[in-house]
Amino acid sequence: MDGYLGSYATLGLVLLAGVLLFVAAFGANRLLRPSNPAEPAGKRISYESGIDPVGGDWAQAQIRYYVYAYLYVLFAVEAVFLFPWALIFDRPGFGGLAIAEMGIFVAVLALGILYAWRKRILTWT
């Protein structure tokens, strides 16, 4: 299709074909499915590796697991920033300013780990 509106007509035809495919798939599903499906015994119980569940379904996780995961992500991100910096550090034009920026970045992270240590977040009891 040529002209200014030709690309819009092509887009409209593609969208129409997508909608028709969607309607056809759901229509076929509605025609082919059982009208009153059977529900076998035990269908709605939780499944744990082939073993019947024991106890209730409420389990509390302690916050320290999340804190350790958060600290890991924090220092993994630090490593992601440090490696590219180390690769371009010796190039011309990345002298004292690059050292100062990375020093500030590492100092902020060091303050964070110092805070976590002072609050005894890192003790495993």
- Residues 48-107 have pLDDT tens digits of 666 666 766 677 777 778 878 888 888 888 888 888 888 877 777 777 777 888 889 889
The residue with greater pLDDT, 123 or 106, is 106
Average pLDDT over residues 10-25: 96
Tell me 34's DSSP state.
Answer: -
CA separation for the pair 105, 82 (Å, rounded): 10
Place of tokens 């024991």: 54
Q: Is the pLDDT of residue 111 over 80?
A: yes
- For residue 23, the model assigns a pLDDT of 97
Instruction: Evaluate the CA torsion angle 46, 49, 54, 56 in order and state its sign.
Output: negative
Distance CA 111, CA 120 (A): 14
